[in-house]
Amino acid sequence: MTGQTSPTRRAGLWKAKRVFFVTPQVLEKDIQSGICLVKYLVCLVIDEAHRALGNYSYCTAVRELMVAPVQLRILALTATPGSKQQSIQNIIDNLHISTLEYRNESDHDVSPYVHNRNVELIEVAMGQDAIEINNVLLEVIRPFVIRLCAVGVLQNRDLQTMMKKYLGSIH
């Protein structure tokens, strides 16, 4: 069910059906409005669980379910959990995850489905427009770099090197 399905129709579906595919926003709104009969929920599968940060609908829906008198199992899935430990911990906390399983492309149950990749890096010279934009950016940040160097925050005054290091390969 999506937001395109009217609340009245969704209320009927919540009463008549047993398995649902819903957007996080619909789940959140239907739990809050009471049309989702939470007492009958037994399993919630959350796809794209890496989005469960802050007040995203997954977080709000799970918080609502945690205060309801319901025995519920939650399975959260993501292919991209994040790269920072604190972000991953926030997702674990927000979704009340008690067991974490991690798989990568070399695991025996994943590797049969991973295809070989050949990566070829092709460097392309920047066009004149990009060079001019780069030069404008360098001039904009120059006074800030000078100040940061003066107070010891930055050690390197070479703007080209610094921009490559901190902003990616803009050169």
Q: Which tens digit of pLDDT belongs to each residue from 66-121?
A: 998 888 999 999 988 888 899 999 999 999 999 988 888 889 998 999 888 888 99
171 has pLDDT over 70: no
- pTM equals 0.63
| Residue 69: Cβ within 10 Å count | 6
- How far apart are alpha carbons 61 and 122 in whole angstroms? 45
130 has pLDDT over 90: no
**Max Cα–Cα distance, the chain, nearest Å:** 69
Average pLDDT for residues 132-145, to the nearest whole number? 86
DSSP 95: T
18 or 171, higher pLDDT: 18
Tokens read off for 143: 């006074």
Domains and CATH numbers, the chain: 7-104 (3.40.50.300), 128-167 (no CATH)
Q: Is 122 exposed, middle or buried (0-12, 13-18, 19+ CB in 10 A)?
A: exposed
